[in-house]
Amino acid sequence: MLDHTVELLQAGVARGELRPGTDCEAAGREILAVMDGLQIQWVLAPASVDMPARLRGFLDRLLRDLSPA
């Protein structure tokens, strides 16, 4: 899973969608860590965690940080 995520991020760098010099492995690990943590929270209390919304919010913030503009 990490390899696939890193490849997707590297492709974003190559297309100019993400900043040059982006540490794709670190970003990939952060994405997977957040996903894992949200899944654990959801398993423990599914009614109290809007997993898609929380993940979307995290990814939006990460994209703003990694965006070249």
Rg of the Cα trace of the chain?
13
Contact in structure between 55 and 35 (CB atoms under 8 Å): yes
Please write down the long-range contacts of 15-24, taking CB distance under 8 Å and 24 or more positions apart: 16/68, 17/67, 17/68, 18/66, 18/67, 18/68, 19/66, 19/67, 19/68, 20/68, 22/66
What does the pLDDT look like over 42-65, one tens digit per residue?
Answer: 999 999 999 999 999 999 999 999
**Distance from CA of residue 12 to its chain's centroid?**
13
- Residue 30: pLDDT band with limits 50, 70, 90: very high
Give the predicted TM-score (pTM) of the model. 0.89
Residue 69's pLDDT band, with cuts at 50, 70 and 90, is confident
What pLDDT sits at residue 48? 94
DSSP state of 66: H
